[in-house]
Chains A and B, each alone.
Chain A
Amino acid sequence: MEHTEDRKNKKTSVISRFLSFFQKIGNKILKFFINLYKFFKNGFKKFYARFMDGSIGTKLSHLVMGAGNFYHKQFIKGFIYLALQFGFFFLMITSPMVNNTPIGFKSLGNLITLGTEEGGIIFNPDFTFEIIPTDNSMLMLLFGVVVIGIIAVYIVAHNSSIKSSYKADLDKRNNKKPTNFKQDIKSLLDDRFHVALLTPAMIGILVFTILPTIFMILIAFTNSDKEHVPGQQLIDWVGFLNFSNIFSGTGEISRRFLPVLSWTLVWAFFATFTNYIGGILLALLINKKEVKFKKIWRTVFVITIALPQFVTLLAMRSLLMNQGPVHQMLMNIGILAEGSTFEILQFAADPLTTRIAVILINVWIGVPFTMLMTSGILMNVPSELYEAAQIDGATKRQAFFNITIPYIVFVTTPYLITSFIGNITSFNVIFLLTGGLPRAGGGAIAGETDLLVTWLYKLTIEQNDYNLGSVIAILTFIITASATLISYRRSKSFKEEDAFQ
């Protein structure tokens, strides 16, 4: 009786936990919007108060960047701000052509239309002809995003010019001298050191991580495929069509999405756990007291990490070829008949063979890494733990199972999560070993061992179906992001639980 009661309690608690999880997410979203509203409201209030309170220079700064700095005789600073504003408007109004595509205010219109000129040849009556180039929709999309970014940066810069003028106002009011240019530079090395350190890295991240990511997401909502080549045909916005095609279409993406997704998850699961368990066992073996020459043993395995993967994986691929050394060896021993064929990687009859082979080869690639990490952790097990166990009269065996193993597992749990996510997006092993083969049949591009990322590569680089590639990229991001979020919540609660004990 009591048992069933217990179970019921557990069940309701699971359901209530589940519900509270969604409730929390709902609350978070609500809170976000409330905060956003407050942010704008307060921002505007502050903006208005600053405008009313500021000197005439500060007021002018709202129109002309740097005016306030000139007013306070900070000429160098004022000149830099003025040049910034001039450059911004010059770029925006003139909209210079880069690769036949304007970049400036015109880009904003182009971002909406993605180009209107279909291009073609006009024959004049005097038998000459002109070639009118097609609008490059892809570049228009890119420049549109870039221009929005530039405008955002400009707004921040303009606000900072007002801010600096207002700060000089306040300095004057407090009978201090407004800072001169030299002092400003100096403060970059001291109390504003974070600005100096972050700016170069942020520019890199902005241009090579954030911009491409936004660009990639937007492509998922266009029809940029192999029938719409930028510069030859116009590309259009298609809304969520590419996404709904996954579930309702008849093309490659709808037929192959679920098989590829499930294999990706199966692969990530096995690749993670085989490496994890194998690596820990190997580290324990090498670190056994009676094993001598630990450094040499370790080095044997570490060479695998140091060697570039394109070398080791292509070596594996050639070893396992039909008529390759492993085939020859198996024939010599007599396991395989002379004259038989040996296909386990690209052209295996049964995709399961290839999948198992790929996971096993991945053990070869990944185990040394976990081994090295676990060895590092083994050296760091707090010695108090062992001393306390010794005082309590525990045997070495007990200490091993009750201290060493739990400690390793506890410490490496975050690693387990990151390596699972890493395996979802691991490209090299599949691409270099099988290239996604064996084929899935029906003319599908995604083979039986293709992961989401290698499929993405094939769709974009080989097939030019950029829209489908982007859709897969977004879905992969959603999978990895939710895995991270869930595990983050878990590990947090894990820590809290631990704190109670």
Chain B
Amino acid sequence: MIKTVKKFKSVKASRLTSTIFSYITLGILSIIWLYPILWILLSAFRVEYRDGNLITTVVGNYIPKGLGLENFRILFENPTGNNPFIQWFINTLIVSLFTFILSTLFTLSVAYVMSKLRFPMRKKFLSIAIILGLFPGFMSMIAIYYILKAISLTGTLYALILVYSAGAGLGFYVAKGFFDIIPNSLMESARLDGATNSQIFTKIVLPLSKPIIIYTALLSFIGPWMDFIFAKVILGTNRQMYTVAVGLYEMMYGEQVSSSQFTVFAAGSVIVAIPIVTLFLSMQKYYVEGVTAGAVKG
């Protein structure tokens, strides 16, 4: 009797230490993960003066000596005329709206065809798509640049929309995996009722596919806010047409290092990050579903 109680106690004690250990580890890791994020946040609100001038470069003290909205004022008022942040924000919004509509359409239609429709050459299409997917889009960037230049589209937002959405059809695997799970019997019974293939797709399959539609749409909407390199190459020196990513990067590293505007960059980053992070966190459930399906399917 006494023995079991003792054993019970020791189990309880070891469980307690393991719990404490877990919390401590998680706490330390959280600090490490939040440290850079908090740094951007603090820098955005940092108002410090040296010899009467606002310091906009990187400084050694993590905690600012003064807080304020000065950096946001500079960001929106654009005193040098070089960094039209509001324009950049609108540009990115336009690009991401069009990209998200086009990419979602392309991805879902290719995925559905590959998953549920049977036609000659289907297998060949699949293997060609796999080989093409191995060429990283990044590598054909130079060629795409030339093609766009030949039709005088470089430096425009159309070009960016085309580049982001045109190849979207190749990223069909995750959505195909989702459609594969939808039972064929559902479609066959609809077919018996006289439904056409397009009706089955729009009236039966799509309403069942909310998670994968949201996953695809979310990724393609966020893409233009995150992408930096394609936009940089295609938009070139046309500052008016920049997206937020290129604009903010140029604000920090494109100019002379002495005039690098880190705090203003941080302010811009915060403005960009708030809607994106909110959107992402609210859709997190669908994201996890898509990512898990993608990983399992390969």
Contacts and interface: CB of A to CB of B under 8 A. Distances in A.
Do A and B associate with each other?
Answer: yes
Interface string B108-129: 0110110001010000010000
B131 A481 contact: yes
Nearest to B199: A189
B83 interface: no
B269 A328 contact: no
A480 B134 CA distance: 7
Interface in A199-223: 200-202, 204-205, 207-213, 215-216, 219
B39 A282 contact: no
Interface residues on A, range: 35 or more
A457 B281 contact: no
A305 B288 CA distance: 12
A47 interface: no
Nearest to A101: B150
Given A325-B61, A328-B62, A308 B225 contact: yes
B13 interface: no
A160 interface: no
B198 A212 contact: no
B146 A142 contact: yes
A277 interface: no
B37 A282 contact: no
B22 A215 contact: no
A372 B43 CA distance: 29
B211 interface: no
Contacts of B167: 204-205, 208-209
A461 B233 contact: yes
A425 B137 CA distance: 10
A11 to B, nearest CB: 32
Contacts, number: 270
Interface in B270-298: 272-273, 276-277, 280-281, 284, 287-289, 291-292, 294-298
B273 A308 contact: yes
A306 B281 contact: yes
B132 to A, nearest CB: 6
Interface stretch (B1-9, B27-35, B69-77): B27-35
Contact of B144 (A212, A285, A316, A321): A212
B98 interface: no
A377 B30 CA distance: 22
Given A197-B113, A315-B39, A213 B196 contact: no
Interface in B97-113: 105-106, 109-110, 112-113
B117 A193 contact: yes
Interface in A278-332: 282, 285-286, 288, 290-291, 297, 299-312, 314-316, 318-319, 321, 323-325, 327-329
Contacts of B287: 372
A290 B288 contact: no
B18 interface: yes
A210 B132 contact: yes
Contacts of A300: 30, 33-34
B277 A202 contact: no
A418 B298 contact: yes
B245 A310 contact: yes
B132 A99 contact: no
Contacts of A496: none
Contact of B277 (A190, A290, A307, A315): A307
Contacts of A189: 196-198
Contacts of B18: 290
B36 A476 contact: no
A446 interface: no
A427 B141 CA distance: 13
B169 A211 contact: no
Contacts of A291: 19, 22-23, 26
Nearest to A215: B143
Nearest to A410: B296
B229 A428 contact: yes
B295 A209 contact: no
Contacts of A470: 142
21 contacts: A99-B150, A198-B109, A198-B125, A205-B166, A208-B144, A211-B143, A212-B144, A216-B140, A216-B143, A297-B26, A299-B281, A303-B33, A305-B280, A306-B280, A306-B281, A310-B249, A318-B58, A328-B60, A380-B292, A428-B228, A477-B134
Which 9 residue pairs spanning A and B have beta carbons closest together? A414-B298, A201-B169, A212-B143, A212-B140, A376-B292, A328-B60, A204-B166, A208-B166, A306-B280
Interface of B: 15, 18-19, 22-23, 25-26, 29-30, 32-37, 39-40, 43, 58-62, 105-106, 109-110, 112-113, 117, 119, 125, 131-132, 134-144, 146-147, 150-152, 162-163, 165-170, 196-198, 201, 225-226, 228-229, 233, 245, 248-249, 252, 262, 265-266, 269, 272-273, 276-277, 280-281, 284, 287-289, 291-292, 294-298
